[in-house]
Amino acid sequence: MPCQTSGELKLLVDEAKKYTKDGKVADYIPELGKANPGDLSIAIHYPDGRCISAGDIDKKITLQSISKVLSLALVLMERGFQYVFERVGMEPTGDPFNSIAKLETMAPAKPLNPMINAGALVVTHMIKGASVEDRLNRLLAFIRELADDSSIGYCEEVARSEFETANLNRSLCYFLKQHKIIIEDVETLLDLYTKQCAIEMNCLDLGRIGMIFAMDGKDPLTGKQIMPEDVARICKTFMVTCGMYNASGEFAIKIGIPAKSGVSGGILGAVPGKFGIGIFGPALDEKGNSVAGIKLLELLSRNYRLSMF
């Protein structure tokens, strides 16, 4: 079913777009720095297959930190709750997403949660497979099923750009390796992680994935349970408590839906039992979240009473 342009959504996009001037693109990753900061688009995917949109929803974006939710869902399915949470914690943090500080003060030195970079690297380390290619294909197969889009792949230019500038993530990996939280070669893990972050899709794909989470892991169009209900619940809980970096508390109060952002300007939203949301707006605030994307979600939540609280 084609996605229908919504005049009502367009009005909200036009209002939120005014805030793009307050943000800047993630130019510390050279390829992401090429994005147009004035872009803003949204797709909303309903469980009956309907979709409404505003803006250029066909534009491809890389997942970046949004991929952390999807890799977590995969390893929970493959490894189980106990295995995963012996190696990464469940607690929110007020520190930036790329901080090493808590690792140095925690004992054992396991990351606080899977949504910060240290935790996400540990989760990616748990993806099963004999090679980077095997493991990436395993994750891609899962994501393609969630989005119902077999064309989803990754952007080699963005992956290369991130790999070449990933010195802070290298530091996190070596710290984790010193404490035996990860045991593989650091460059191999970073190769996989940067390709995971460079997986690309459009807003419509993001919205459909959000809809699967909103429906507790079940594809309502086929009746297939793509992920166990409990896995979807755990992921949505992390999206509420940690999904918007160290702005998650304010986001929960102002907007109040499970969501995960990425520094490409993408936001994946899941309104429990109702629909999924995919947003792209590459101008970021100081926390690394899409400044106009958050404003758009705030307008949506307020106008349609979406908060789960």
Return the active site residues: 65, 68, 193, 245, 263
Q: What is 130-152 written as a DSSP string?
A: SSHHHHHHHHHHHHHHHHT-TT-
263 marked as binding residue: yes
Closest of 249, 303, 230 to residue 82, by C-alpha: 230
169 marked as binding residue: yes
Q: How far is CA 210 from the centre of its chain?
A: 10
User: Would the CA dihedral through 5, 6, 7, 11 be positive or negative?
Assistant: negative
113 marked as binding residue: no
Angstrom CA distances, 123 to 126, 140, 146, 271, 304, stand at 5, 15, 19, 25, 35
162 marked as binding residue: yes
Q: How far is CA 34 from the centre of its chain?
A: 20
Say what the alpha-carbon torsion angle 103, 179, 139, 96 is, to the nearest 10 degrees.
Answer: 10
Query: What residue numbers does the annotated binding site for substrate cover?
Result: 65, 117, 162, 169, 193, 245, 263
Q: Which residues are annotated as a binding site?
A: 65, 117, 162, 169, 193, 245, 263
